[in-house]
Amino acid sequence: MYAVSNDTALTGTVKTGIQNLKVSTELLNENLKAMRKSFLLKNILKSRKKIRNKKVVVIKLFLRFIFLMKPARLI
């Protein structure tokens, strides 16, 4: 690591790469927020959320059923 940090060209390239990642991440977040508000995608996102919530409920009920069952006694 020490030898890599002494290379100024590589250090500068890594820094600009990290800055580019930060900027692109911020832009992506802005685009995702705009997409959530879009009337075309609102219904799709709502239906996906409902499906996801139903899956969570089913998994919770299944786990509750498993843990409430009493183990069979061995004779």
pLDDT tens digit sequence for 1-59: 455 567 777 888 889 999 999 999 999 989 888 877 877 777 777 888 888 888 888 88
pLDDT of residue 1: 46
Q: How far apart are CA 15 and CA 17, in angstroms?
A: 5
pLDDT of residue 55: 85
CB contact at 8 A, 4 and 10: yes
Q: How far apart are CA 43 and CA 30, in angstroms?
A: 20
**Computed from CA positions of residues 37, 40, 42, 48, in that sequence, does the dihedral angle turn out positive or negative?**
negative
Measure CA 55 to chain center: 17
Place of tokens 């009493």: 70
pTM, whole model, 2 decimals? 0.44
